Chain A
Amino acid sequence: MKIGIVNYSIGNIGSVYSAFRFFGLDVRFVQAPQELENIDVIVLAGVGNFITAVRRLKALKMWDKIDKEVIVKKKPIIGICLGMQLFADLSYEGGRTKGFGWIKGEVVKMDSKDLRIPHIGWNRVNTSGKGIFNGIQSNYFYFMHSYHFIPKNKNLICGVTDYGDLKIVSAVRKDNIIGVQFHPEKSQSGGLRLLKNIIEEINC
């Protein structure tokens, strides 16, 4: 199985690469549309600005190609942080911008007068303990974001995180599309286990 990390952002994708390498997996960076054809699993990682990410993916001619691979060919895709937010219909970060629209819903600024924004640090993810969260002992993962994704279909949510009075959607899954708001590659043993679980689920 070949894992392709889309190299589109200034965000730190080296850590994502080395996390998959930890399991001895075949992982590489992809930055041209034709390279996606040889890839079995697509990873969209990175932090940064939503509108910048969309523009860069389009400039690399990756946008339509990724959409086709995921929707037509049903290739598994893992979205991390901003990568997950790109699954949405639209985001307001950097101005109203359309996302892939694979999971209905919007990405909005975290808004609460009592909270420190950005949401940075280790926070608990409440899950069923099954599926991609199977066997993880500590459900604390590392977050760093100011916007969050509110999916319309609550059945697609598989992880929720409390931040003050906000309920942040921290993991979503719709068939071959899996996304997490936190950074598994930065979340020590729990994060590694999560990535391993995702790969195993995809393989089944």
Chain B
Amino acid sequence: MLTKRIIPLFLLKEGRIYKGERFKNFIDVGDPTSQGMIYDAQGADEIIIVDIEASKKKKIINSRIINSMITKCRLPIAAGGGIRDVKSAKECFSAGADKIIVNTHAILNPWLVKEMAREFGSQSVVVSIDVKKSGSNYDVYIYSGTRKIEVKLKDLIKKFIDCGAGEIIITCIDKEGTMSGFDCNLYSWLRKLVSVPLIASGGAGSYDHIVDLFKESDCDACAIGKMLFLRDYDIVRIKSYIKGKDVTVREA
């Protein structure tokens, strides 16, 4: 049986991992390669690494960092940040990424996803969308939460799946870095729309937050950040706890 994935999320700025709250107030929490080795040893199921300044600075995520991580870690790495075309995606793959993550540029031009799925296969193309609650709806943001874009989340997701997106990550900006629990209503609603694997991000702060997410929404994976970097949790203990609550996980 396929297991639920616990994925450390590395937000990258100038080669270091940063954690913030609602995409603001960032603090340095470490070096990506050494942190990667730690979570690999603890049995993390994957690592997501995203350069949060790349799109704004018109750059792409540093391939040296990806390369350093893949030579030291034996787990899948999904990398993103500034990927705008097949060429920049290729650069990430040749550096060693197993999957690429597209956000801003794919939202501006969803056909990009189709082109990438054709070139690299759906299983390697992950689409990431940042959303903020607004009344009973969710607004979509690009450029790391700095610009709102007028598009319906539901339509956007449908389009990405039609274009061949292999996985969808939805980050709830209101929850990001708050450690106040996932927005389970959002993910339960999304689950019905998303026929590919769905990854939840934003809000993990305790064991039960993760249990609740998996039980309520049946997401395939969750990304966790601050809880790992700035609190006394590790992957081994998280998995052992949630397994005790009947969530199917793999213990290393």
Interface residues of A (CB under 8 A from B): 10-12, 14-15, 18-19, 47-49, 52, 116-124, 138, 140, 142, 144-146, 162-163, 183, 185-189, 191-192
Contact = CB atoms under 8 A, between A and B. Distances in A.
Interface size grouping (class) on chain B? 35 or more
Interface stretch (B19-27, B96-104, B173-181, B222-230): B96-104
Contacts of B90: 10
Contact of A144 (B3, B71, B123, B221): B123
A15 B120 contact: no
Contacts, number: 113
Contacts of A145: 123
B67 interface: yes
A2 B93 CA distance: 25
Nearest to B89: A10
Closest 3 CB pairs of A and B: A118-B123, A14-B96, A144-B123
Interface string B130-152: 00000000000000000000000
Contacts of A123: 1-3
A101 B88 CA distance: 35
Contact of B93 (A11, A120, A146, A162): A11
A10 B124 CA distance: 11
B197 A188 contact: no
Contact of A48 (B74, B120, B252): B120
28 contacts: A10-B119, A14-B95, A15-B96, A18-B71, A19-B74, A47-B124, A49-B120, A52-B119, A116-B195, A117-B195, A118-B122, A118-B123, A120-B220, A121-B45, A122-B2, A122-B5, A124-B1, A142-B75, A144-B76, A144-B99, A145-B123, A146-B121, A146-B122, A187-B74, A188-B74, A188-B75, A189-B252, A191-B74
B93 A10 contact: yes
A146 B252 contact: no
A186 B197 contact: no
Interface in B214-245: 220-221
A122 B248 CA distance: 11
B196 interface: yes
Nearest to B94: A10
A200 to B, nearest CB: 19
Interface of A is mostly: mixed
A140 B98 contact: no
Contacts of B121: 47-49, 146
Interface string B68-86: 0011001110000000000
A138 B1 contact: no
Given A121-B220, A140-B3, A12 B93 contact: yes
Given A118-B123, A144-B124, A145-B123, A192 B2 contact: no
